Structure 1
Amino acid sequence: MSANLAPPITLLTDFGMQDTYVAEMHGVIAGLAPNVRVIDLTHAILPQNIRQGALALADAVEAFPDGTIHVAVVDPGVGSRRRAVAAEIGRWRFVGPDNGLLTGVLRRWPRQRVVSLTNPQFFRAAVSRTFHGRDIFAPVAAHWAAGVALDAFGNPLETPLIQLDWPSPTRGDHCLTGQVLAIDHFGNLLTDLTVDLLSTHVPSGAASVTVLVGEQCVGPIVGAYSERPGQLLALVGSHGRLEIAVESGSAAKQLQLGVGATVVVQWSHS
């Protein structure tokens, strides 16, 4: 990235696109940092679904250049005593509520510096207790992108950030057991069984590898959707997670399963 080009700001929310909330955040940023590019990561997180937001954020950040400012607002506690924070984690920067939205990011990259957003100089003049995305998080992100130092926004936060109770797969005798974390737009079941886990635990010389979800046998792990036309299948998706899918269909609808469903990868030796 050019030294004269500021990293972008991304927006992730549960606001949807029917109302003006997202546009208002864009407007605030445009007024303070008109030369900074703003990218809508997603505004389709289910209302108040912090876990879904945390997963989407963690899966997306690696696509962005170092220094990108990710504004994440899934904030059922807005207006309460929950903390508002700005954080440097891994190679990126984050602004949002301290309510677990950064769980997935913190599990994969080291926390660098974090401050509590307490300096109203960098907020909008009038702060609504119901719209911190517009009145606190958007202006802080804009000022940060424009060159304001992190320490200017508030005092360093030395205590741990809130993290969700994040499921961890378990290793059994010739099997790995995980669960469905989310369902994407296509009805694919996204699991917590990552390519790193599979490569670590599933023997390269296994005679057979089979995936089961719920009580349904899906079959072996394939490389592309097209390898099983119209059928249920398992593959490692673009974010490095095992997915259960139906080529040109919806696994969620076909299986009538959702978040929390058990997924097992089992293998046998020759």
Structure 2
Amino acid sequence: MSVSDGSDPVVILMTDFGLRDTYVGQMKSVISSICPNARVIDLSHDVDPQNIAQGAFFLERSMPFFPDRAVVVCVIDPGVGTSRKPIAIKTARQTFLAPDNGLLTPVLGLQTITDCISISNPEIMLPVQSSTFHGRDIFSPAAAHLCAGFPFDRLGDPVNPASCITLPAEKNRIENGNIIEGRVLFCDHFGNIVTSLESSLVENRHRWEISAEGIDGLPIVKTYEDVDEGKLLAYRGSFDTIEIAVRNGSAAGITGLKHGAAVRLIRKKTVTTANPS
């Protein structure tokens, strides 16, 4: 059974390689050499270096938008060259290739797994494999071969999905239902601060405010135009979590908040408006 159905296959790439060097270009070149009709989508190459949890978060929040039958290659791999396994997971919708280091936690938890296998067949690797660049030498050619019709079950040996490494669930601390403490997950390209506080926690944004180191009583607004230019705001972001931003500025630069910093959602003692939106 392969992932090819006769239409142009899609490969989705996510790495922490950045775009300054040639790493991503080499991966794409390998894919194109093996399966020229494959369309390659760059999900992101700016995951913070070695930040497996951030990569897993990006993957979780992006999976609903992936086309069916896509082959998704995820390489955030601080253990490259060690005993960690390169694995491939086939679900009812897509196929995912990644190191077995927790990066595929959302796939294992949210999708229906049909097959799981180690990537160990030398037929679908480059003839010589670097000990530090499995993205080019193992994952990219394996993905391209699958797109070209190579049978999934010939990638290597079967793996029990239950044995795959998963990351612990992100847990926010709740105090009496009035204070919910989360943390900064990452800061995006614009300097917006993405937190672990789910938007669903805020049933009425007027009843809550945000607090963090150097920030007190920050209201949750609908959009940037609700505050003056250069002012801080909190809002329900596109990742479905609460974000902190600055209108036409960088919240990360102004606040200095970094990955792991505590962020608190605090229920107001009084509500100044009855607007439930």
| Both proteins in one fold, TM over 0.5 | yes
Per-residue deviation at 1:268?
Answer: 4.2
Paired-residue identity, %: 41
Per-residue deviation at 1:4?
Answer: 4.2
| Closer/same/farther in 2, CA of residues 90 and 223 from structure 1, 3 Å limit | farther
Per-residue deviation at 1:250?
Answer: 1.0
> Pick from 178, 184, 198: which aligns with 2:182?
178
> Pick from 90, 102, 105: which aligns with 1:103?
105
* Structure 2 residue identity aligned to 1:262: A
Comparing 24-33 with 43-52, greater Cα deviation is found at: 43-52
Deviations 1:90-142 (A, max 9, x none): 63221111112123444444444211112111111222222111111001111
For structure 2, the 5+ residue unaligned runs are 271-277
Instruction: Give the equivalent residue in structure 1 for 2:221.
Output: 222
8 Å contact kept, 1:231–1:246: yes
| Closer/same/farther in 2, CA of residues 91 and 225 from structure 1, 3 Å limit | farther
> Pick from 108, 120, 137: which aligns with 2:122?
120
Instruction: Give the equivalent residue in structure 2 for 1:208.
Output: 207
Partners of 1:262 and 1:87 lie apart in 2 by 34
8 Å contact kept, 1:191–1:243: yes
Instruction: Give the equivalent residue in structure 1 for 2:77.
Output: 75
| Closer/same/farther in 2, CA of residues 88 and 194 from structure 1, 3 Å limit | farther
> Pick from 120, 139, 142: which aligns with 2:141?
139
* Structure 1 residue identity aligned to 2:181: T
| Closer/same/farther in 2, CA of residues 180 and 106 from structure 1, 3 Å limit | farther
Partners of 1:225 and 1:252 lie apart in 2 by 16
8 Å contact kept, 1:89–1:106: no
SS of alignment partner, residue 260 of structure 2: coil
8 Å contact kept, 1:188–1:250: yes
- Number of residue pairs aligned between Structure 1 and Structure 2: 263
Comparing 78-87 with 48-57, greater Cα deviation is found at: 48-57
Partners of 1:40 and 1:15 lie apart in 2 by 12
The 4+ residue runs of structure 1 with deviation greater than 3 A are: 104-112
Scaled by the length of structure 1, the TM-score of the pair is: 0.89
Comparing 24-33 with 41-50, greater Cα deviation is found at: 41-50
* Structure 1 residue identity aligned to 2:208: V
Comparing 109-118 with 186-195, greater Cα deviation is found at: 109-118
| Closer/same/farther in 2, CA of residues 91 and 226 from structure 1, 3 Å limit | farther
RMSD of Structure 2 on Structure 1 (CA): 2.2
> Pick from 48, 51, 56: which aligns with 1:49?
51
> Pick from 151, 154, 157: which aligns with 1:152?
154
Instruction: Give the equivalent residue in structure 2 for 1:247.
Output: 247
Partners of 2:104 and 2:171 lie apart in 1 by 17
Partners of 2:206 and 2:250 lie apart in 1 by 30
Scaled by the length of structure 2, the TM-score of the pair is: 0.86
Instruction: Give the equivalent residue in structure 1 for 2:194.
Output: 190
Deviations 1:194-227 (A, max 9, x none): 223x15xx5x5x8722121235125222111121
8 Å contact kept, 1:218–1:233: no
Partners of 1:133 and 1:110 lie apart in 2 by 25
Partners of 1:250 and 1:268 lie apart in 2 by 26
Instruction: Give the equivalent residue in structure 2 for 1:267.
Output: 267
Partners of 2:32 and 2:76 lie apart in 1 by 22
Instruction: Give the equivalent residue in structure 2 for 1:92.
Output: 94
8 Å contact kept, 1:211–1:265: yes
Partners of 2:107 and 2:196 lie apart in 1 by 14
Partners of 1:106 and 1:215 lie apart in 2 by 38
